[in-house]
Chains A and B, each alone.
Chain A
Amino acid sequence: MSHRRYMKSLNMDEAELRSRRAFCGLTDDDLERLRSLRGFAEQHTTGIVNAFYDLLLAHEQTRKFFPDDAAIRRVKRMQSEYFLALFEGRCDLAYVEDRLRVGAAHERIGLAPKWYLAAYAKYLELLGDQVHASFPREEAIPLYVSVTKIVFFDITLAIDTYIAANMDTVQRHQAALRELSTPVIRVHDRILLLPLVGAIDSVRAQQIMDTVLTRIVEEKARCIIIDIAGVPVVDTKVADSLVKTTASVRLLGAQTILTGISAQVARTIVQLGVDISPMHTCSRLQEGIELALDLVGKTITEKRG
């Protein structure tokens, strides 16, 4: 996902930014303090960034994310920029976008949140050491608190990035599942077959009807066989959606044949009082195929000799 999409999915605007800053307690005073630390930061960047990556490279599980010297140089440079940006004394939408860009990059290379967050802890430790070593106690403590606040603000963004990326993956999987769930097959000239498997809820029912109609026009089909042997529950809603599908298929000049009707399903449909008379129905798929061929003016004959 691009950082722009993260901005969108986080609803990131001025109001959202204000509310996050308020929650983290990140005030303008804190930003002022951070800006006053700028010189200090520039002095200690290299040392802190090096120590930071020494940690990541010392551990087997994190070393693999930085395969070669070029990769390490690159991330050290990015990290230095990141580190210095903490002390610019600004926390506006542009700052957030930058953070999201960094987060997106980490998510893309597959660096899991547990490493990312543990690394932040190391960051704070290294910074803390330097701040306490360089400033008298009464100054060091408020400075360090401001640093902590902005780092935590960044951490919330990093976590949200991971969550958003996961949601995106889930949605893409759902889309793929949807496509797989309505496999319309052309079995012969002008004859389509749709074997339905699995439960049919109202969302899926709608997708099925839309896909069926689109495919009928694409294939100029005269007949579609819908096999429901694989549908575990046929209740009023499912029966109703089959009726609707048949009615709309008719408006495209085609006919629907329903097959795979078990005794149980036959009983349910009649007891529910659903009128499926406009549909051709068969118990087995084979009968449905023979009927479909008949409807388009064809027949299966035995070979002679």
Chain B
Amino acid sequence: MSGTIPILRMGDVLLTTVHVELRDAVAEAFQADVLAAIEKGQIRGLVIDISGLDMVDTYVARILAETGRMARLMGTVTVLCGMRPEIAATLVRMGYPMDGVHAALDLDEGLERLRSLRGRR
């Protein structure tokens, strides 16, 4: 389970692409892997690319939001990128607008957003 979702390191930024359905075990391992990677190196930014997900229910949304909160506690800014329009619509309509996460259109935008967010601190 650990390692199912690859995590790349680019300087002090972690890049990860969620390309499979997040079953419970995979989701928990993902969260653990991300936090372990942040702890290991001096990581200041985390970009989670979810362009491969065609469905995000409240369970997945919670995992993503939680991961972002945990990362922030460890001094890392998180940006979620690549959300499909129909997923954004569904989450908001359900009443789960994920207020606490930063979001960007795609990976490029995500990295740029990280830069501007970190520049402000």
Contact = CB atoms under 8 A, between A and B. Distances in A.
Contact of A252 (B93, B97, B99, B105): B105
Interface string B55-92: 00000000000000000000000001101111111011
* Chain A contact residues, majority secondary structure: helix
A247 B101 CA distance: 12
Contacts of B5: none
Contact of A253 (B81, B92, B98): B81
A247 B97 contact: yes
A288 B83 CA distance: 26
Interface in B23-54: none
Contacts of A213: 85-86, 88-89
Interface in A232-285: 244, 247-254
Interface stretch (A62-70, A89-97, A214-222): A214-222
Nearest to A249: B88
B109 interface: yes
B75 to A, nearest CB: 23
Contacts of A222: 105
A250 B85 contact: no
Contacts of A250: 97, 103
B83 A251 contact: yes
Contacts of B97: 247-248, 250-251
Interface of B: 80-81, 83-89, 91-93, 97-99, 103-106, 109-110, 113
- Ordered nearest first, which 10 A-B pairs have the shortest CB separation? A213-B85, A253-B104, A251-B88, A247-B97, A248-B88, A248-B92, A253-B105, A247-B92, A251-B103, A253-B103
